[in-house]
């Protein structure tokens, strides 16, 4: 299996277990990853948006990444991606090196999101430095395109420049723009030459049809069996419309109880007996009455 092929499929944008004092419950991450592997995930992204990545110090991130490696004792093919992007070039380089030293399959790197008016040439130089200094030969970097959150879009032109300059290291992107036309244009521009993992469950089937490589989504924490069924149907050339409508309904519920980390953690606790993990400020845990309403609404639409 090539490096790029290993980055295809259903990935969970996994939540980060936290004790009530906001410290990382790193020891509880392997059980969550085992749960996801058993339910059809090909892999997981740690410390992305759903994992509250920017809320953690470098040493916390590296400790969590190390703790997650236990999953490979029972599931050696389970793919691990690390969310590592920060506005700091040096910190991003440090985190990437740490992730690859641990044996991670790839890193998912936000652009330097504090600098919202940086020119494209500046963004290219930033990624160039990251790729040259922290991505070993045979390893993969995915850019993280989430302009509604980061405020810094990664243009198709920039993607092409990076792919041309680093054809083996720059693997592609996680596209969390939520833009259907953008997903289609990515497929039209790059075909299968670029790994494109869509970050919006509503666009999962469309992105696959547009030559996407799969998805990394918050809802994969909860509905990975359904997402895996869509993946398998797509791979066999069958229609995914009915299953995609179920995914859309689940996404609608999650969006009714924002933000995703609090919703996912609440449902994991209520439905699957995980601890009642908190979230780190500035996020706040879901009030009890809202947890009850979220759970009741969830049960109405999903029974997996």
Nearest to 218 by CA among 76, 7, 9, 12: 12
User: Kindly report the CA angle at 292 between 245 and 25, in degrees rounded to 5?
Assistant: 90
Task: Give the CA dihedral 178, 181, 186, 187, nearest 10 degrees.
Answer: 120
The span from the CA of 288 to the CA of 295, in Å, is: 11
Q: Which of the following is catalytic: 16, 92, 113, 174? A: 174
Tokens 């994969």 sit at which residue?
Answer: 220
Annotated catalytic, 144?
yes
Query: Hey, is 179 helix, strand or coil?
Result: coil
Phi, psi of 292 (to 5 degrees): -60, -45
Partners of 196 in the β-ladder: 173
Q: How many CB atoms lie within 10 A of CB 19?
A: 12
Parallel, antiparallel or unpaired: strands 106-109 and 141-145: parallel
Instruction: State both tokens at 257.
Output: 């109880």
Q: Which of the following is catalytic: 16, 49, 84, 262? A: 49
The span from the CA of 39 to the CA of 47, in Å, is: 20
Annotated catalytic, 174?
yes
Annotated catalytic, 114?
yes
Annotated catalytic, 49?
yes
Give the helix/strand (H/E) hosting 209: helix 204-209
Q: Which of the following is catalytic: 104, 113, 144, 302? A: 144
- Crossing angle of helices 180-190/156-165, nearest 10°? 30
Catalytic residues: 49, 114, 144, 174
């Amino acid at each position: 299996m090539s490096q790029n092929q290993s980055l295809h499929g259903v990935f969970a944008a996994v939540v980060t277990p936290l004790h009530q004092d906001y410290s990382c419950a790193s020891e509880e991450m392997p059980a969550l990853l085992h749960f996801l592997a058993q339910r059809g995930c090909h892999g997981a992204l740690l410390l992305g948006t759903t994992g509250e990545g920017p809320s953690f110090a470098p040493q916390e991130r590296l400790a969590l990444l190390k703790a997650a490696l236990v999953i490979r004792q029972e599931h050696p093919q389970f793919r691990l991606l690390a969310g590592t992007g920060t506005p700091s070039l040096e910190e991003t380089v440090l985190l990437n090196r740490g992730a690859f030293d641990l044996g991670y399959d790839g890193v998912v790197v936000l652009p330097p999101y504090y600098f919202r008016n940086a020119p494209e040439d500046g963004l290219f130089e930033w990624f160039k430095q990251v790729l040259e200094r922290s991505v070993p030969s045979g390893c993969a970097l995915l850019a993280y395109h989430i302009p509604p959150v980061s405020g810094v879009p990664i243009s198709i032109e920039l993607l092409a420049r990076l792919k041309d300059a680093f054809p083996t290291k720059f693997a592609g992107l996680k596209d969390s723009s939520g833009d259907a036309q953008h997903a289609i244009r990515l497929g039209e521009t790059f075909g299968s030459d670029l790994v494109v993992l869509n970050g919006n469950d509503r666009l999962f089937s469309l992105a696959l049809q547009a030559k996407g490589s799969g998805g990394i989504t918050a809802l994969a924490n909860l509905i990975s069996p359904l997402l895996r069924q869509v993946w398998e149907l797509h791979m066999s050339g069958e229609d995914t419309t009915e299953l995609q409508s179920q995914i859309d309904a689940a996404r609608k519920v999650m969006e009714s109880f924002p933000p995703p980390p609090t919703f996912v953690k609440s449902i994991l606790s209520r439905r699957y007996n995980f601890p009642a993990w908190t979230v780190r400020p500035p996020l706040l845990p879901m009030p009890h009455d809202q947890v009850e309403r979220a759970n009741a609404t969830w049960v109405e639409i999903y029974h997996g």
